[in-house]
Amino acid sequence: METIYTIDGLNQTIQQLEIRQDAEWCAIKDEIDEIKHNLKPLNLIRNTVEEINETVGFKSNLAQSAISIGIGYLAKRFVVGKSTSAFKGIFGSLLQLVVTNLVSKPHHDSQKEESSQQESSRE
């Protein structure tokens, strides 16, 4: 920084630094929002499924559907376990259906929905 000799120069520099600070805070807040979005469990699962598809080379909808069903089944087994209760069985099946449907949705569609919801909540 250069040396400032006048009060006007000092005020201008302070104003410029405050504007810069506000811009940096906005960038930090946006980055935190993006990190929170990426750390949601559903998004973690979707990102993992997408990476598996890209790594293994699955391009067909059949393979992606099979992975979604498998993740839904694992969610059911993880939450319900080996239970003989009819209520738990129905709950597990509903959970499996919901998880399978959520994982099988394209990732970019949910980002558009969430960004539109965020924009409407900011207004």
> Is the whole-model pTM more than 0.85?
no
In angstroms, the Cα distances linking 71 to 9, 26, 45, 51, 62 are: 62, 37, 9, 14, 14
Q: Which residue has the tokens 């598809």?
A: 53
Q: What are the boundaries of each domain within the chain?
A: 11-57, 60-103
The rounded distance, in Å, linking the Cα atoms of 16 and 6 is 15
Give pLDDT tens digits along the chain (123 positions): 688 889 998 999 999 999 999 999 999 999 999 988 888 877 777 777 777 666 666 556 666 677 777 777 777 777 777 767 777 777 777 777 777 777 666 655 444 555 555 554 444
Using DSSP's 3-state secondary structure scheme, residue 96 falls into helix
